[in-house]
């Protein structure tokens, strides 16, 4: 008889070119209550992400062909599925690069399986409740604070009926935030998600753009409640987001 799939199980996609690591992780995580799929390279990973819709991705950095860093950049541009790098690269700069391109955690090989399990559960707790596949491109209306966003018309309607049009830059910034509520985004991460080049220049414009945008959506732009500053970290979209 075919194996029955428990739809309530959280689903992990393991992407690693080492078959032994893939199978060991599939067995261990399966024994700990997860549903697990595997992929041996970037091409197989993209097919699995499209068809399987995982809740979390374990991603090897050093793979033949397209490496994990490049694949991570591609994934975070299209979805908000959390990513945990697993890598034999132990230098601090490698960990920093991994986090800067969009990973939620970075675990060095060889790792203790229990530590990896704890980190996976920690990341899932932080992202629990966010629809990681339902990006702004796939949803027409979002509601947050006292606003309703219409992604087709690129307008926001306030609860008193006032309609505010968004510039291309404001719309891009808002869609980045609403896809990742309650998650701290560094300026560098916002740059990456915006597909921008020239990070040194764009870093400063992120601050300016956030400041201008707050004047449109905040009750008191000097004491923002929706887009809050995290000193030394960047910004967090603190409002709850609902799909309508």
Q: Of the candidates 76, 103, 127, which is a domain's last residue?
A: 127
- The per-residue pLDDT for range 33-82, each reduced to its tens digit, is 999 999 999 999 988 887 777 889 999 998 888 899 989 988 887 777 88
Q: Are residues 191 and 218 in the same domain?
A: yes
Q: Are residues 217 and 140 in the same domain?
A: yes
Q: Of the candidates 94, 127, 160, which is a domain's last residue?
A: 127
Read off the CATH number of the domain in which 213 is found.
1.10.10.10
Lowest mean pLDDT among 95-99, 194-198, 213-217: 194-198
In a domain, 40, yes or no: yes
Q: Are residues 63 and 106 in the same domain?
A: yes
Q: Of the candidates 84, 100, 127, which is a domain's last residue?
A: 127
pLDDT value at residue 1: 34
Q: Are residues 117 and 204 in the same domain?
A: no
Positions of E strands within 16-154: 35-39, 56-60, 83-87, 105-108, 141-144, 147-150
Is the distance from CB of 114 to CB of 37 less than 8 angstroms?
Answer: no
User: Domain span at residue 84?
Assistant: 11-127
Q: Are residues 59 and 167 in the same domain?
A: no
Q: Are residues 22 and 103 in the same domain?
A: yes
**For residues 81 and 77, what is the distance between their CA atoms, to the nearest angstrom?**
10
Read off the CATH number of the domain in which 78 is found.
3.40.50.2300
In a domain, 44, yes or no: yes
Question: How many domains does the chain fold into?
Answer: 2
In a domain, 5, yes or no: no
**For residues 217 and 197, what is the distance between their CA atoms, to the nearest angstrom?**
27
Task: Look up the pTM and report it.
Answer: 0.53
Name the DSSP letter for residue 223. S
- The per-residue pLDDT for range 121-174, each reduced to its tens digit, is 988 887 764 444 445 556 678 999 999 999 888 899 999 999 999 888 888 899
């Amino acid at each position: 008889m075919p194996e029955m799939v428990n739809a309530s199980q959280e689903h992990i996609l393991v992407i690693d070119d080492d078959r032994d690591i893939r199978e060991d992780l599939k067995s261990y995580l399966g024994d700990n209550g997860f549903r697990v799929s595997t992929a041996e390279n970037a091409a197989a990973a993209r097919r699995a992400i499209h068809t399987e819709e995982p809740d979390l991705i374990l991603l090897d950095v050093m793979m033949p062909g397209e490496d994990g860093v490049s694949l991570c950049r591609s994934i975070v541009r299209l979805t908000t599925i959390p990513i945990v790098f697993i890598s034999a690269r132990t230098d601090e700069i490698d960990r920093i690069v991994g986090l800067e391109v969009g990973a939620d955690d970075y675990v060095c090989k060889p790792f203790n399986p229990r530590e990896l399990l704890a980190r996976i559960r920690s990341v899932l707790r932080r992202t629990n409740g966010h629809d990681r596949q339902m990006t702004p491109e796939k949803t027409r209306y979002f509601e947050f604070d006292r606003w309703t966003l219409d992604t087709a018309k690129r307008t926001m309607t306030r609860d008193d009926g006032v309609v505010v049009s968004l510039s291309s830059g404001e719309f891009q910034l808002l869609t980045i935030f609403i896809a990742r509520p309650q998650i701290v985004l560094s300026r560098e991460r916002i740059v990456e998600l915006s597909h921008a080049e020239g990070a040194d220049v764009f870093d400063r414009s992120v601050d300016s753009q956030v400041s201008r945008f707050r004047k449109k959506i905040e009750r008191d732009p000097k004491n923002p409640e929706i887009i809050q500053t995290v000193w030394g970290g960047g910004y967090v979209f603190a409002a709850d987001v609902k799909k309508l």
